[in-house]
Amino acid sequence: ILDDWGPEPLTADQRRDLLEIVDDRYDKGSLLITSQVPVSQWHDVIADPTLGDAILDRIIHNAHRLELKGDSLRRQAGEKKKP
Protein backbone atom coordinates (compact mmCIF):
# COMPACT_ATOMS: atom_id res chain seq x y z
CA ILE A 1 0.00 0.00 0.00
CA LEU A 2 1.32 3.40 -1.01
CA ASP A 3 -0.81 5.84 0.96
CA ASP A 4 -1.06 9.54 0.05
CA TRP A 5 1.42 9.15 -2.77
CA GLY A 6 2.84 12.08 -4.68
CA PRO A 7 2.66 15.24 -2.58
CA GLU A 8 6.14 16.23 -3.81
CA PRO A 9 8.51 15.16 -6.62
CA LEU A 10 10.53 11.99 -6.01
CA THR A 11 14.28 11.96 -5.52
CA ALA A 12 16.50 9.71 -7.64
CA ASP A 13 16.67 7.13 -4.81
CA GLN A 14 12.89 7.21 -4.35
CA ARG A 15 12.33 6.69 -8.10
CA ARG A 16 14.59 3.63 -8.12
CA ASP A 17 12.93 2.26 -4.98
CA LEU A 18 9.46 2.78 -6.45
CA LEU A 19 10.43 1.04 -9.68
CA GLU A 20 11.76 -1.91 -7.68
CA ILE A 21 8.56 -2.13 -5.60
CA VAL A 22 6.28 -1.87 -8.62
CA ASP A 23 8.36 -4.37 -10.58
CA ASP A 24 8.31 -6.85 -7.68
CA ARG A 25 4.51 -6.61 -7.42
CA TYR A 26 3.81 -6.71 -11.18
CA ASP A 27 1.75 -9.82 -12.06
CA LYS A 28 2.53 -11.30 -8.62
CA GLY A 29 0.37 -9.41 -6.17
CA SER A 30 -1.72 -6.38 -5.49
CA LEU A 31 -0.54 -2.82 -5.25
CA LEU A 32 -2.84 -0.21 -3.73
CA ILE A 33 -2.05 3.46 -4.27
CA THR A 34 -3.96 6.37 -2.77
CA SER A 35 -3.20 9.88 -3.94
CA GLN A 36 -4.71 13.32 -4.11
CA VAL A 37 -2.60 13.96 -7.21
CA PRO A 38 -4.43 13.23 -10.48
CA VAL A 39 -2.94 10.35 -12.48
CA SER A 40 -2.32 12.78 -15.33
CA GLN A 41 0.29 14.51 -13.12
CA TRP A 42 2.13 11.40 -11.90
CA HIS A 43 4.85 11.78 -14.53
CA ASP A 44 5.63 15.18 -13.01
CA VAL A 45 5.86 13.65 -9.53
CA ILE A 46 8.21 10.90 -10.72
CA ALA A 47 10.29 13.64 -12.40
CA ASP A 48 12.15 11.36 -14.83
CA PRO A 49 10.54 10.54 -18.19
CA THR A 50 12.22 7.16 -18.67
CA LEU A 51 11.60 5.83 -15.17
CA GLY A 52 8.16 7.43 -15.21
CA ASP A 53 7.21 5.45 -18.30
CA ALA A 54 8.53 2.22 -16.79
CA ILE A 55 6.81 2.73 -13.44
CA LEU A 56 3.48 3.92 -14.82
CA ASP A 57 3.36 1.22 -17.48
CA ARG A 58 3.53 -1.42 -14.76
CA ILE A 59 1.00 0.37 -12.53
CA ILE A 60 -1.58 1.23 -15.18
CA HIS A 61 -1.43 -1.98 -17.26
CA ASN A 62 -3.85 -4.04 -15.13
CA ALA A 63 -5.15 -1.26 -12.88
CA HIS A 64 -8.63 -0.85 -11.51
CA ARG A 65 -8.94 2.86 -10.95
CA LEU A 66 -11.42 4.46 -8.57
CA GLU A 67 -11.66 8.21 -8.79
CA LEU A 68 -13.56 9.77 -5.92
CA LYS A 69 -15.37 13.06 -6.29
CA GLY A 70 -16.99 15.35 -3.78
CA ASP A 71 -16.14 17.05 -0.56
CA SER A 72 -13.66 15.66 1.92
CA LEU A 73 -15.27 13.44 4.55
CA ARG A 74 -13.04 15.11 7.15
CA ARG A 75 -14.36 18.51 6.10
CA GLN A 76 -17.95 17.27 6.29
CA ALA A 77 -17.37 15.77 9.74
CA GLY A 78 -15.79 19.02 10.93
CA GLU A 79 -18.75 21.05 9.72
CA LYS A 80 -21.16 18.78 11.59
CA LYS A 81 -19.27 19.43 14.86
CA LYS A 82 -19.66 23.22 14.56
CA PRO A 83 -22.28 24.67 16.95
pLDDT the model gives residue 55:
95
Asked whether the predicted pLDDT for residue 78 surpasses 80, the reply is no
What would the pLDDT profile of 27-77 be if each residue is shown by its tens digit?
A: 898 999 999 899 899 999 999 999 999 999 999 888 998 888 888 777 777
Burial class (CB in 10 A: 0-12, 13-18, 19+), 79: exposed
pLDDT the model gives residue 42:
94
pLDDT the model gives residue 83:
67
Average pLDDT over residues 15-23: 95
Are 35 and 5 spatial neighbours (Cβ–Cβ below 8 Å)? yes
pLDDT the model gives residue 67:
86
How far is it, in rounded angstroms, from Cα 74 to Cα 76? 5
